[in-house]
Amino acid sequence: MPDVKYLSLNGKVVPTADARIHILSPAVKYGTNVFEGIRGYWNNEEKQLYIFRLTEHLLRLQFSMKVMRFGESYTVEHLRDCIMELIKANDLREDTYIRLFAYVDDLDGEMTASGTIGMAIAATPKGRRAKAHDGVNVAVSSWQRISDNSMPPRIKCVANYNNGRLAWMQAKQDGYDNVILLTQRGTVAEGPGACLFIVRDGVPTTSTVASDILESITRATVMQIFREYSDLETVQRDIGRTELYAAQEAFYCGTGHEILPIVSIDRHSLGDGKVGALTEMLRQKYQQLVRGEIADHAEWRTPVYGSS
């Protein structure tokens, strides 16, 4: 159970133990729920919690609900107000992970049920990943990435994540930290819950949005950081499996993963087997931006305390 007193359920702050849905709801029976993960970053000098790219995340949640043909949606303004109220109720003044679930809540509804739509929000403390500093060793999975014509990974539907779960659990059984999935065409897609970049000859490269990946907000942020702070344009194209082994650097990126360096793939070391220079630059600049340690891109940060 989350280590906070309150969650938000259908627009109301409630005790954590009371935030429940029925076992016979379509959300449980058929996985008819979508979600967003959003991070808040504590700036100790300013005594402020900044939510990173909040509006973009909420717009993507609306898109996920649209694709899943939910019968109703929520406005960005309503969701923003619910998040602010919940964080303040829990008095969170540290790095925080915010998770929103929109789900079909018809009691014993059929597979095609599209309403009533429920909304649950959790905001809990969350720090950096354990291996964020030294990087991770990953494998290319034998499990294929789901395609846009089967269960579209472009949206954050909870059921989609079983694909990445199977691949990641197999990789862990085989002694790896994480995993990379390939498309049905055999090109690189992404990791479970994170997009993937490689660096070859100083050029950052990532798979296209037509490669069965999430249209990641962090991915877009990474490309803008490379452009603005290193004068590097990211190449978006198909990436072959063995091309991964030729990379000098690689990293995952995502709200949960942030910037997570990869130091080996299928036991092939990348570069000197340590975190690369471009990846390290990116990681540092990303942390400065999300925490408001530099003034750039203030529009990406929504302050919680002292905000209207």
Indicate which residues carry an active-site annotation.
Answer: 156
Answer for the pair 184, 245: CB distance below 8 angstroms, yes or no: no
Structure token pair of residue 34:
């979508």
Find how far residue 189's CA is from the centre of its chain: 15
Answer for the pair 177, 170: CB distance below 8 angstroms, yes or no: no
Find how far residue 69's CA is from the centre of its chain: 22
Give the C-alpha separation, 175 to 167, whole Å. Answer: 13
